[in-house]
Amino acid sequence: MATKIIYDFSTNQTVTRDLTSQEQSELEALKPNAEKQLEYLRLERNRLLFETDWWASSDLTMTDEQKKYRQDLRDITKTFSSLSDKDFKFPTKPS
């Protein structure tokens, strides 16, 4: 169970207590559901792809590292469903 830390300014003391079931329910309701977490992941992935769209211009040739980076970004939702998944990290952008 989660705890709540309360600071009482009148006594200058900190009290820690368990959340009530209602407070726990309210806290859970604030957490993004799986669909929202996947949406956040896709939004950030799309932003990173957008930053490198210019690599794919017709007058440029992408390096193999650049192609791999963009493909890894497109494939990231096959492995992860949230930015907070264990071991999650975006691929490293080549220089």
Give the model confidence (pLDDT) of 40-61 as tens digits: 999 999 999 999 999 999 999 9
Specify the DSSP class assigned to residue 43.
Answer: H
HSE at residue 73, side-chain half, CA atoms within 13 A, is 20
Containing 9, the helix (H) or strand (E) segment is none
What are the angstrom distances between the C-alpha of 76 and each of 16, 17, 44, 81, 83?
40, 40, 11, 8, 10
pLDDT in tens, 14-38: 989 888 889 888 888 877 788 888 9
Q: What is the pTM of this model?
A: 0.66
